[in-house]
Structure 1
């Protein structure tokens, strides 16, 4: 049966605006629907909070405030928030609809991913988180379900700020810890605190899961997983997938350190580490084939975002979390989940579904299926059985100590931390790293802020976890990088360009000027001058010689062939303008030249000539019999000058020097006789 048909909100118009078309998923805090904004006619995702949360006034207030903060977060890898509001008992969030699947869908279908693919997904996720961290936002519930992969390949992170709103309301009333068990940082479990480093921890777990196809800690109950997260380091991914590069192990170890002080401070720093690690990997290391998926994995269909019940956000009572944290060495270590097939599904569902885990439901120590040890039996008559020899007891103690030391070495003993040597002189830095038992590799680079001879950076970064047999690469400053402007005088323009670019500079503006000594087209000077020190890629302008200046001869009134010959003999190129003009010059002679006569130009410059069509002839209007004023207006309108011969004191034209209907040159003088 299609459960969507039973959902009362499907087909409903929420808040008079959002028409709900289908249910996409049900999560731990909300139900997600595909809806249409009837005002803007666009498809979007509508997240409607569960009634238990919507009824909490503190939550609603916090939810609205957080939604406004997230809406201001504009980043291509963040699912956009368009609107938030309430409609009766419904509290909703209108968000960008991403057609595609979640990272969880990808992991279910493919299992472990190649390192290249894992980093391709991790980098935009960290970029989105980095933007949020810089804006003062902490996600608090990073997991594969909240990483959306669109059909166009874009990666986006969802649910920013939502968990913070829920967590604030929940903590106020219950003192609970809210999140997804497998991705909670130790400080969230133990103290209920979460900052940017908690997001880094969760991303480290997600990266481990992408590289191996499994979570680093497992168990049949949340308590078992919580215990492992508090007391065990995340194992190196290469233990599960042989062939993974040590750089990937170190990247995961740095992000998932149990002590938050040893993790990258935020997603921006973690992104830098990821990119540095990637740059050090070969194509072979990036394309390591993951292990084969478990039976049935590849047949699992890819579902839309958030379609599954697994890995939903849980509310964990802090008292229960604290009990997991206080399981001391007197208790047996939490066993890894190895449930039989018939019980596995139920155990996984119990671990991952959304639920409030009350203190009485969590065991004070991890579950152990073995029967409790029996008390020593008494011999008949009340006497105890003889004790085992002391040697056996000592041997057992030593064996346990050896096992404990072995476990410690596997999880912590084989690691140390990179000493802080930034801005330290090279010799002191090398000594400090050697004193920590690590090898040193030296590189050099330029720096605008670190003095020459001092440490610019280390890889891995300061305080990062590293195997105690590892190598730390330090980059020593060569000082500020500069480039010397080369001397290009006398070179051709092409050669001058090449020499400037070879020096690490760029070519700026090219200007020309006359020179009596330097041939046309060769470089004269540069700006800045040769020998100057400039920053790399700075622009250098070149001045090129136009050769010695030549006086342009006067060819106005000359016939075309005569003018061309005179100019070419002077060293110029000649161009005849397509359009001819009327002028006082005779027809088919030169009416104009550019540059004009008397100016100076360089040899090889082009002189443009304009040919005359002769004088422009205009038909003379007949004005005999008109008054003088009317006659003058008509003639001047046509472009003629007017002269007047008066006889007596009359005002009527009785003769004109050019008869009406005849043509005369435009601008010529027409004389009128008036009486």
Structure 2
């Protein structure tokens, strides 16, 4: 479909090429930044937002904050502006697809793939949380997967800018992933993003979201008042750790969730490390329906979700059956308004003498009479209560008071000095496990250990604790010690045999660093190809390790030696000594300057060749023999001209001044001599 912006220039800088997607708050276009000559994603806000000055001010603040966040797993914010009513954000263009596309095509994912896809998302959120940014709209549509495998999360700050600039009665977000506190109008923090991540992980593992409804407010109500079930209910055999991870993230109370993305990332990687291959590669059952596209929505917020739902049909509790019950039924159904201890006695009914059906009017009167009878029966006591003995009541009260006093004393001891008393968690980082456990034990805590990878803390020492050191908790609450397994090692990829550029790309994808690049000549390998790497491929190393590369400069050039004038054998030896090959032509040439058997010419005469290159040699047959004719009796000028035409040099010897100019004698004459020889003529 046509779009008014396609083919136009926004802000005299961004040439809009095509429309990529449309959401609840904006439309995304592929554009070219003419100033920097690069492709960008241009997010143009819908007109009702572009005219809201309050919102535009908030958006500018959020864009500036997001632009300061630079992380490999966060889509970069490059620019923001307003061009004649076209409010826009400019973001890094990621060529690829979204996590929604993966869920839609594959349905439920194996735990290994689900954890691998969500790991960079949580890492990016952790960096954002550390910088004070909250996303507020985490969902598969905002997780971008580039064609080269990079995973990034985008749209930081947009939902927050809209929410903070609109009235308190509205809520911006994607209803399938909203946290309970956002639905109920409470402040949001990093834990709200964690809740959305938990819902997203549930969907990746099961292929569907935990809640659905006919309208968005019904789904929002369930987020606020229900608890997310374990994904193993839909995926039998799923590891208990995955259930615990999802339900930890989606706890209704934010206090029971991970505090931010970094805290969740640590546990997520710990689970990935400790699950077996069978648990990680568990194939879900027959594919469940994949989730639909989830657009960011503006939802009316209410402090009374129950009232908001009153307009929609609600499921009715089961009603007691009017049909005859089996006399052997173990129990009957309870009417919805009766107390649970009301019993209904099953009975057998004889259908043989069943009365004729009552008319509608008679049936209504029968029902009213029956209701009155039941009310009177309920109001009539079945037995009276005696007032009892006053002395006995006094004794009972005394016993009750003593019990209450004992309980209060026990509670005071429990919470004052016993296991329920509060204490501060000591610093255990960089200590051995035994030392850390002893410190916790001395403080009155019970501890458990969890192994984690850490690049900085040596293996076997404690990285930290959860809750963290300095936190005050009750002594009966457990404390988790995170014990370092040392840095997590990854095998280096094979870089040899490819080009230097390919090696750089492979190092970037493996999150390794490029070390020293050395070049050397190699007669067998083309220039620019990697000859060797250090450390070698397959070596287990930590992320960021520099890898040194040895790169070919191609065959080494050899200067061509000059052998013209050298005897043939000496010339061939000189060329071969230089690492070249001599090719001697069979046909020799006459050369008045080069003796016979010597090199008269070579090709190439100068320049460079590579090892084994060929130099062609032409051998001299010496000067050419020419017959000397006689010019005796002829004039000297004629003789000189004729001899020089034959290639001779002429020497004149004048007698008596050469008055007559006639050649009297010539030497040599009438014989063959080498071309260029000197002919002497005597002139009188």
Return the TM-score normalized by structure 1: 0.51
Q: Determine if the alignment matches structure 1 residue 367 to structure 2 residue 313.
A: yes
Against the structure 1 CA distance between its residues 471 and 195, is the aligned structure 2 distance closer, same or farther, given a 3 Å change threshold?
Answer: closer
Structure 2 partner of 1:77: 73
CA shift, 1:92, in A, is: 0.6
Aligned to 2:637: none
Q: Is structure 2 residue 307 aligned with structure 1 residue 311? A: no
Cα distance in 2 for residues equivalent to 1:36 and 1:242: 49
Q: Deviations over 1:80-126 (max 9, x none)?
A: 11111111010011111111111111111111111111111111001
The residue that corresponds to 1:188 in the other structure is 182
Give, in angstroms, the shift of residue 288 of structure 1.
Answer: 0.8
User: Are the equivalent residues in 1 in contact too, given 2:13–2:34 (CA < 8 A)?
Assistant: yes
- Residues 137 and 173 in structure 2, CA contact (< 8 A), matched pair in contact too: yes
| Distance 1:454-1:94 versus aligned 2 partners, 3 A rule | closer
Aligned residue for 2:109, secondary structure, equals coil
1:35 aligns with 2:35: no
**In the alignment, structure 1 residue 457 sits paired with structure 2 residue 440:** no
Q: Residues 284-303 of structure 1 correspond to what in structure 2 (within 5 A)?
A: 284-294=278-288
Paired position in structure 2 for 1:93:
89
What is the CA distance between 1:384 and its match in structure 2? Answer: 4.0
- 2-side partners of 1:11 and 1:239: how far apart? 51
Among 146, 152, 166, the alignment partner of 2:148 is 152
Q: Deviations over 1:572-609 (max 9, x none)?
A: xxxxxxxxxxxxxxxxxxxxxxxxxxxxxxxxxxxxxx
Cα separation, 2, equivalents of 1:454 and 1:127: 22
Distance in 2, matches of 1:20 and 1:443, equals 51
The question of whether the paired residues in 2 share the 8 Å contact of 1:178 and 1:316 is answered with: yes
- CA distance, structure 2, for counterparts of residue 12 and residue 453 of structure 1: 60
Structure 2 length normalisation: TM-score? 0.50
Contact 1:148–1:155 (8 Å) recurs in 2? yes
Equivalent residue runs for 1:529-568 within 5 Å? none
The one of 288, 291, 304 aligned to 1:323: 304
- 1:494-513 Cα shifts (integer Å, max 9, x gaps): xxxxxxxxxxxxxxxxxxxx
> In the aligned structure 1, how far is the partner of 2:34 from the partner of 2:83?
16
Contact kept? 1:256, 1:263, Cα under 8 Å: yes
Going from structure 1 to structure 2, the CA distance change for 1:430 and 1:458 (only over 3 Å counts) comes to farther
Alpha-carbon distance in 2 for matches of 1:420, 1:114: 42
The one of 16, 19, 25 aligned to 2:15: 19
Alignment check: 8 A CA contact 1:447 1:456 kept:
no
Aligned residues: 388
Residue 428 and residue 47 in structure 1: after superposition, are their counterparts in 2 closer, same or farther (change >3 A)?
same
1:516-567 deviation per Cα after TM superposition (whole angstroms, max 9, x unaligned): xxxxxxxxxxxxxxxxxxxxxxxxxxxxxxxxxxxxxxxxxxxxxxxxxxxx
Contact 2:424-2:469 within 8 A present in 1 as well:
no
Cα-to-partner distance string for 1:299-342 (whole Å, 9 max, x where unaligned) = xxxxxxxxx983111222222xx222xx4xxxxxxxxxxxxxxx
Q: Which moved more, 1:284-293 or 1:53-62?
A: 284-293
- Give the C-alpha shift of residue 73 in structure 1: 1.0
Q: Displacement, 1:291?
A: 2.4
Among 271, 274, 279, the alignment partner of 1:277 is 271
Say whether the 8 Å CA contact 1:430–1:440 is kept in structure 2. no
Aligned-pair RMSD on alpha carbons? 4.3
Q: CA deviation at 1:387?
A: 2.6
**Partner of residue 215, structure 2:** 221
CA 1:238–1:371 in structure 2 vs 1: closer, same or farther (change >3 Å)? Answer: closer
Instruction: Give 2:374's aligned residue.
Output: 387
Tell me whether 1:233 sits opposite 2:227 in the alignment.
Answer: yes
Distance 1:259 1:366, change over 3 A: farther
- Please give the alpha-carbon distance, in whole angstroms, between the structure 2 residues aligned to 1:278 and 1:426: 25
Q: Work out the CA distance in 2 between the residues paired with 1:77 and 1:447.
A: 20
Task: Give deviations 1:472-512, integer Å, cap 9, x for gaps.
Answer: 8656899xxxxxxxxxxxxxxxxxxxxxxxxxxxxxxxxxx
1:49-87 per-residue CA deviation (whole Å, 9 max, x = no partner) reads 000000100011111121111111111111111111111
Q: Does 1:53 align with 2:46?
A: no
Cα separation, partners in 2 of 1:290 and 1:39, compared to 1, 3 Å: same
In structure 2, relative to structure 1, the CA distance for the partners of 1:420 and 1:268 (3 Å cut) is farther
The C-alpha deviation readout for 1:270-310, integer Å capped at 9, x for no partner, is 11111111121111111111223247x6xxxxxxxxxx983
- Give ranges in structure 1 of 5+ residues lacking alignment: 298-307, 328-358, 391-418, 464-469, 479-675
Q: Secondary structure at the match of 1:379?
A: helix
For residues 55 and 64 of structure 1, the distance between their equivalents in structure 2, rounded to whole angstroms, comes to 14
CA contact (8 A) 1:445 1:475 kept: no
2:166 is aligned with 1:165: no
Per the TM alignment, residue 222 of structure 1 is displaced from its structure 2 partner at its CA by 2.0
Q: Distance in 2 between matches of 1:282 and 1:191?
A: 42
Q: Distance in 2 between matches of 1:142 and 1:446?
A: 28
- Superposition pairs for residues 74-153 of structure 1, below 5 Å? 74-153=70-149
On the 8 A contact 2:169/2:301 being kept in 1, the answer is: yes
Deviation at 1:448, TM superposition (A): 11
In the alignment, is the contact (CA less than 8 A) between 1:420 and 1:462 conserved in 2? no
RCO (CA 8 Å, sep 6+): is it higher in 1 or 2?
Answer: 1
Which segments of 5 or more consecutive residues in structure 2 lack a partner in the other structure? Answer: 320-335, 338-362, 379-421, 429-435, 472-476, 486-684
Contact map agreement 1:20 1:33 (CA 8 A) in 2: yes
Q: Is the 8 A contact 1:421 1:462 kept in 2?
A: yes
